[in-house]
Structure 1
Amino acid sequence: MSRHRWAAGLVAPEPGERLLEIGYGPGLTAASVLEHLGDGRLLGVDRSAKMAAAAARRNARAVAEGRAEFRVGDWPPVPQLSGPAFDKAYAFNVRLLWTDADAVTAVRRVLAPGGSLYVFLQLPPPSGPQLDAVAAQAERTLDEAGFRAAGVDRDGECLCVRGRRA
């Protein structure tokens, strides 16, 4: 199973949910998530216009249907994001979200109460002890930003640290 399908399985999107992807890159994880999102909506934020174009091409049908939008902007968020607009947020290999409590606090601000954050990362092998250290750091960062720990999942060299907004 690809890391993107594994990530989508953990996010477990349900029809009607509002999802935020931070750092969507070429839109691979978004494509897997959109397969299960039904009439829900996905908003992606990435700092690269080149990646925005690639993600929009890869997910052209969902974009045309109004189920996906890929914006260019930095994180913490572009000014248009405010209030508890999302049920779930996720990011794959976005270092800010395992090291910077301010960046994670910005995610908490746009999540609905009880919303979940999924911080995925993949390190080159062999990364066992290094992955464990990064997981511990990510858990501390989420805790500092006001998230309750919801678990750590691992699949080979991939890791997901989950938090839930109180």
Structure 2
Amino acid sequence: MAASSRLVWTAEVADPAPTARVLEVGCGHGVLVSLLAERLTAGTLTAVDRSATMVAAATRRNRAAVDAGRVRLFASGLVDADLPDGAFDLVCSVNVRAFWTPPAPEWDVVRRVLAPGGRVLVACSLMSQDTEGAVTDAVRRLAGDRGFALTAVRSGRTPPIDSLALELRAVHPDG
């Protein structure tokens, strides 16, 4: 499976540091896993997906990185995943509606597993003209309720459908 322009664009926007510890939520076939993992020289990537079938496909696609210990994949929803506190510098997802659909308990998990100074990237396909505003407003509200601030909004030309990426960071309680 070749990488779509949407996933290539998302990897460019995510641009993890070579030593980053990355969590991808909803990894599907593992295409974004591959694109992000190739940017990591000393970092690691953990990915979760609810579908065991998708995790098996992602594991096959990323076999060398899995065998080298640079990529770990788990069949689990984010809320049920056994992930350590403060373990990730970057949490990213593409088209994972749970991040903009209430009640969005996934944000509580992200808050717990994100390292100090870490960031979150929520990307999606813009299926209609009102998608950008609706998703941005919902993410701002749901993530804001969990202590995150929207720090960047990016739109990308990713034929056949444009994409949106929202970057967020945890707001420190002391200001």
TM-score under structure 1 length normalisation: 0.92
Please list every run of 5 or more consecutive structure 2 residues that lacks an aligned counterpart in the other structure.
none
Displacement of 1:65 after TM fit? 0.9
What's the counterpart of residue 165 of structure 1? 170
Contact 2:149–2:168, Cα closer than 8 Å, also in 1: yes
SS at match of 1:76: helix
What's the counterpart of residue 44 of structure 1? 47
Contact 2:140–2:149, Cα closer than 8 Å, also in 1: no
Equivalent-residue separation in structure 2 for 1:77 and 1:3 (angstroms): 28
Amino acid in structure 2 at the alignment position of 1:143:
G
Describe how 1:62-73 pairs up with structure 2 within 5 A: 62-73=65-76
What's the counterpart of residue 104 of structure 1? 107
Contact 1:112–1:165, Cα closer than 8 Å, also in 2: no
Please list every run of 5 or more consecutive structure 1 residues that lacks an aligned counterpart in the other structure.
none
SS at match of 1:84: coil
TM-score under structure 2 length normalisation: 0.87
Displacement of 1:133 after TM fit? 1.5
Amino acid in structure 2 at the alignment position of 1:17:
A
Equivalent-residue separation in structure 1 for 2:99 and 2:26 (angstroms): 10
Contact 2:27–2:48, Cα closer than 8 Å, also in 1: yes
What's the counterpart of residue 144 of structure 1? 145
What's the counterpart of residue 96 of structure 2? 94
Equivalent-residue separation in structure 1 for 2:141 and 2:11 (angstroms): 24
Question: What RMSD in Å do the two structures reach over aligned CA positions?
Answer: 1.4
